[in-house]
Amino acid sequence: MNNNRRKFLTSTSALTASALASNLGTWGVESANAQAASGYKAIVCVFLFGGNDSNNMIIPFTDYAAYSAVRTAASAVGIPQANLLQFNAPSASKMYGFHPSMASVAPLYAAGKLAVIANSGTLLAPLTKAQYQAGTNRPPNLFSHSDQTDAWQGLLNNSASRSGWGGRMSDKLIAANTGQLIPSAISVAGSQLFTAGALTAPLVVPQNGIVTVSGQGSDAVSVARYNALNALIKSADPTSTVVKSGAAVLDRALLSNATANPLLQMTSAAITGAFPTAVTNTGIGQQLRQVARLIDGRATTQVKRQFFFVGVGGYDTHQNTVTNQTNLFNQLFPAMKAFYDYTVAAGVANDVVQVTLSDFNRTFIGNAGLGVDHAWGGHQVVLGGSVKGGNMYGSFTDLAVKGNQDSGGNGSWIPGIAVDQVGGTLGKWLGMPGTDIAQVFPNLVNFSTADLGFML
């Protein structure tokens, strides 16, 4: 099993070990007297594990000849122009095309609810090809699945703390979430760096069903064991800081389970109407339905600012990239559309945003197996009622192999937008002060634009 898949298949648990190890976890108990935020907002990170070939997700239509000369004529890994779902990008004054399997979400672009973030990636600072070749400000461990997955999720270079930007945002929003009964950062895809904070612990829930303690059941023995655990927690030695803190973490974990589990077993008309069986038969559809259930229960959980992580593997398409990616997209985008439809029906479309992330893009040049290999900068999509959609943010690559944007000789694009800028834009939408955003994304100071402008 490769490192990427092992990370994705990490078994679920009530609270992740990485966050517990940092500061034994807190949900903002210290800030009980602080001012809570008004309203509700949530970010849903949709991670495409393996490195999504975004060269075939967003394709030039006006400049299709430059794409076809490499992807179709030379490599046989291209999408025919006639199959593209055309869209206009006013910022570029050109036409582009969505992958044909994005038919479910393409109308949302025209409706102004979906936007394209062009050529984004992991960066320490703006980078030219000359600087890249000289090793100046070059991010470490490029083209490595595990390292770039961590970098996209927010791992800070040269830092002893392993936290993600969703978790660090949770740290900064403790006061905003005063009174919360479950953590603000939640993963439905196993333990993930994105949700790990330095001060706050995340909740991990399964893509189906409820969160349980190992061995928990409804039989008499299981109930007695569970009651004994509770009794031990309540009687923890108050003179030992470590024992007392550990017991408090367990107590909050059990409270979180008790709060979340009834919500994870319920449904609503908004959820039932938005998620068809074809979507809930897929893993990504089930994960997004779990997110919908927890958003539906926001009045119960009392969380005002929330971060969700969902993910799907299989994007490491070294072979048969067109077929494999098409199959994946046929599950991904209907699920994202179903989730958006839920937010509309639930009246929270303007309060919830989905954003795709992935390890990296794939090489523009294909390989002998009709696949594509590890690359760097790629395109993402952002979807929600508060998105300034119907446009492309950032500059599309020039598609010149060995050109100024190609870090190597196979079409591995140097990003023009940093993941820090994407996260910073979302942080501003959440209402975070600029000083807090700068602490969550310390590299952001190196970029002239902290807000890319894709959110209202």
Q: What is the mean pLDDT of residues 11-15?
A: 37
pLDDT at 238: 82
**Position 291, amino acid:** V
Contact between 382 and 115 under an 8 Å Cβ cutoff? The reply is yes
Q: What is the mean pLDDT of residues 33-37?
A: 59
What is the three-state SS of 121-188? ECCCCCCCHHHHHHCCCCCCCCCCHHHHHHHHHCCCCCCCCCCCHHHHHHHHCCCCCCCCCCCCEEEC
What is the rounded distance in angstroms from the CA atom of residue 6 to the CA atom of residue 19? 19
pLDDT tens digits along 149-161:
999 999 998 888 8
Q: Which of 32-46, 157-171, 202-216 has the highest mean pLDDT?
A: 157-171
Outline where DSSP puts E strands in 231-377.
305-312, 352-358
Percent of the chain with pLDDT over 70: 91
| Angle CA 276–277–283, to nearest 5 | 105
Tell me the pLDDT of the chain averaged across its residues. 91
Considering Cα of 303, then 305, then 309, then 310, what sign does the dihedral take?
Answer: positive
How many CA atoms are closer than 13 Å to the CA of 240, on its beta-carbon side? 9
pLDDT level of residue 182 (50, 70, 90 thresholds): very high
Nearest to 187 by CA among 7, 339, 65: 7
φ and ψ at residue 404, rounded to 5 degrees:
-70, -20
Task: Say what angle helices 321-345 and 283-296 make with each other, to 10 degrees.
Answer: 20
pLDDT tens digits along 93-117:
999 999 999 999 999 999 999 999 9
φ and ψ at residue 362, rounded to 5 degrees:
-110, 160
C-alpha distances (whole Å) from 40 to each of 74, 154, 263, 297, 301 are: 50, 23, 17, 12, 12
pLDDT tens digits along 357-382:
999 999 999 999 999 999 999 999 99
What is the rounded distance in angstroms from the CA atom of residue 143 to the CA atom of residue 166? 23
pLDDT tens digits along 294-332:
999 999 999 999 999 999 999 999 999 999 999 999 999
Contact between 77 and 56 under an 8 Å Cβ cutoff? The reply is yes
C-alpha distances (whole Å) from 98 to each of 59, 108, 252, 346 are: 6, 12, 45, 28
Asked if residue 56 has pLDDT above 80, the reply is: yes
Its pTM stands at 0.92
Q: What is the mean pLDDT of residues 444-450?
A: 98
Q: What are the residues whose beta carbons fall under 8 Å from the beta carbon of 215, sequence distance 6 or more?
A: 222, 225
Q: What is the mean pLDDT of residues 112-127?
A: 98
- Is the pLDDT higher at 445 or at 239? 445
Contact between 455 and 425 under an 8 Å Cβ cutoff? The reply is yes
What is the rounded distance in angstroms from the CA atom of residue 383 to the CA atom of residue 340? 8
Contact between 401 and 430 under an 8 Å Cβ cutoff? The reply is no
With residues binned 3-state (H G I as helix, E B as strand, rest as coil), the percentages for the chain, rounded to 5, are 40, 15, 45
How many CA atoms are closer than 13 Å to the CA of 382, on its beta-carbon side? 28
Contact between 377 and 58 under an 8 Å Cβ cutoff? The reply is no
φ and ψ at residue 44, rounded to 5 degrees:
-115, 110
DSSP 39: S
**Position 146, amino acid:** S
And the tokens for 82?
């006639």
And the tokens for 230?
């509770």
Nearest to 148 by CA among 401, 317, 375, 310: 375
- Residue 138: beta bridge partners? none
